[in-house]
Amino acid sequence: MILKGTVTALVTPFKDGLVDHGSLRKLVEFQISSGVQGLLACGCTGEPATLSHDEKLTVIQTVLDSSAGRVPVIAGTGTNATASTVSFTETVCGTGVDAVLIITPYYNKPTAQGQLAHYTAVADNSRKPVIIYNVPGRTGTNMSVETIARLGEHPNIIGVKDAAGSIERVTQLRSISAMAYMSGDDHLCLPQVLMGGSGVVSVTSNVAPSLVSRMIQSGLNGEVVQARELHEILFPLFKALFIETNPSPAKKALQLMGVISSDMPREPLVPLMEENVHILRKVLEQMELV
């Protein structure tokens, strides 16, 4: 698959403590009809740490069935153990996903050599293309650009989702690797694209898929003025959707918009505090999203 444009890191809707597949199907349709280029199921925004093995598979299958081949579907299959990541990735590859997203092992904090060993083992055994996911804010480890580039030499590793909060890493990686660089930081995704990035794996596109897609496409096309105008429209939403831990704000926004039935995350996450709901609602109203 070609890793480019806007990929939405889907929330996983819940209702009465269970996965709300009806809301998930509605969310998928909203995304595709709004022009995103791909969907990510069970990424960090999808709360995979609180999903059982079977729940992850049902979420992935619902996204696949709902998208019906209209856009590529990526599944998050990473864990903090190499053996379980290899095993779960093998299972998920049998569902028909287009690629898998593998998070850097969390809590263990592996060295660069450990990261190389982990990703190589997964890529060697995966029947689908592998995307590296570097997110130091959740894993406690920031992969070096050099390590990412080395992994990019593997024929089954097609790109990286980088949430390291740095624009300069795009230029650094571009200078030593041709692999796709997908931003994992919504507020930085446009400058990263303008510096040579391939697109974004976005939280904000759950809520404003058309605007994010148009901004990224404008950036990729070199339409800087138009892209900047869209970035300025989106910037308050970028901030509001991270006013508390993701995905609680995104879920509240989608509920207010009528896309999903409940804003409930799974504990230990909790719904957005009421004072922050007011802030989020005001931004959504200003953008005419509610």
To 5 degrees, how large is the angle CA 238–CA 289–CA 42? 55
84's CB contacts (< 8 A; 6+ apart) are none
Cα-to-chain-centroid distance, residue 261: 21
Catalytic site includes residue 161: yes
Asked if residues 189 and 230 have their Cβ atoms less than 8 Å apart, the reply is no
Length of the chain: 290
The Cα diameter of the chain in Å comes to 49
Phi then psi for 236, rounded to 5 degrees? Answer: -60, -35
DSSP code, position 201: E
For 244-274, give one letter per residue: b (16+ CB within 10 A) or e: bebbbbbbbbbbbeebbbbbbbeeebebbee
DSSP code, position 168: H
214's CB contacts (< 8 A; 6+ apart) are 35, 230
3 state SS of 7: strand
Catalytic residue of the set 161, 181, 251, 252: 161
Asked if residues 125 and 89 have their Cβ atoms less than 8 Å apart, the reply is yes
Catalytic residue of the set 128, 133, 181, 251: 133
Catalytic site includes residue 133: yes
Residues serving a catalytic function are 133, 161
